[in-house]
Amino acid sequence: MQRVACRIEYIGTGFSGYQVQPNGRTVQEELEAALKKLHKGQPVHVSASGRTDAGVHAKGQVIHFDSPLTIPSLRWSKAVNPLLPADIRVSASQHVATNFHARYSAVGKQYRYKVTKREDIFLRNRASFVPTSLNVTHMRAAAEHILGTHDFSSFCAANTSVVDKVRTVTQCDIVEDDEELTFILAGNGFLYNMVRIAVGTLLEIGAGKRAPEDMQHIIAAEDRGAAGKTAPAHGLYLWSVGYAQPMFTSAEKR
Residue 213 within binding range of a second copy, rule CB under 8 A: no
Residue 184 within binding range of a second copy, rule CB under 8 A: no
Choose the binding region for a second copy from 7-15, 134-142, 145-153, 178-186 (rule: CB under 8 A). Answer: 7-15
CB closer to a second copy, 88 vs 174: 88
Near a second copy by CB under 8 A: residue from 3, 11, 141, 242:
11
Residue 119 within binding range of a second copy, rule CB under 8 A: yes
Choose the binding region for a second copy from 3-11, 18-26, 104-112, 214-222 (rule: CB under 8 A). Answer: 3-11
Residues 131-170 that bind a second copy (CB under 8 A): 131
CB of 69 to a second copy, least distance (A): 23
CB closer to a second copy, 81 vs 160: 81
Other beta carbons within 10 Å of 181: 24
To the question of whether residue 10 is assigned a binding role by annotation, the answer is no
Beta bridge mates, 157: none
**Rounded distance between C-alpha atoms, residue 200 and residue 38, angstroms:** 42
- Taking residues 82 to 101 in sequence order and writing x for each that binds a second copy by CB under 8 A, - otherwise, the string is ----xxxx-x----------
Q: Spell 195-206 as b/e; 16+ CB within 10 A means b.
A: bbbbbbbbbbbb
Near a second copy by CB under 8 A: residue from 17, 34, 57, 230:
57
Question: CB of 54 within 8 A of CB of 24?
Answer: yes
Choose the binding region for a second copy from 60-68, 80-88, 168-176, 213-221 (rule: CB under 8 A). Answer: 80-88
Question: Is 178 part of the annotated catalytic residue set?
Answer: no
Given 53, 120, 151, 178, the catalytic residue: 53
Q: At what angle do helices 194-206 and 136-146 cross, to 10 degrees?
A: 140
Residues touching a second copy, count (CB under 8 A) = 18
Residue 104 within binding range of a second copy, rule CB under 8 A: no
**Rounded distance between C-alpha atoms, residue 49 and residue 31, angstroms:** 14
CB of 209 to a second copy, least distance (A): 19
Near a second copy by CB under 8 A: residue from 3, 9, 51, 147:
9
Q: Which residues contact a second copy by CB under 8 A?
A: 9-11, 57, 59, 86-89, 91, 119-122, 124, 126, 131, 254
Q: Which residues are the active-site residues? A: 53
Annotated binding site for substrate: 111
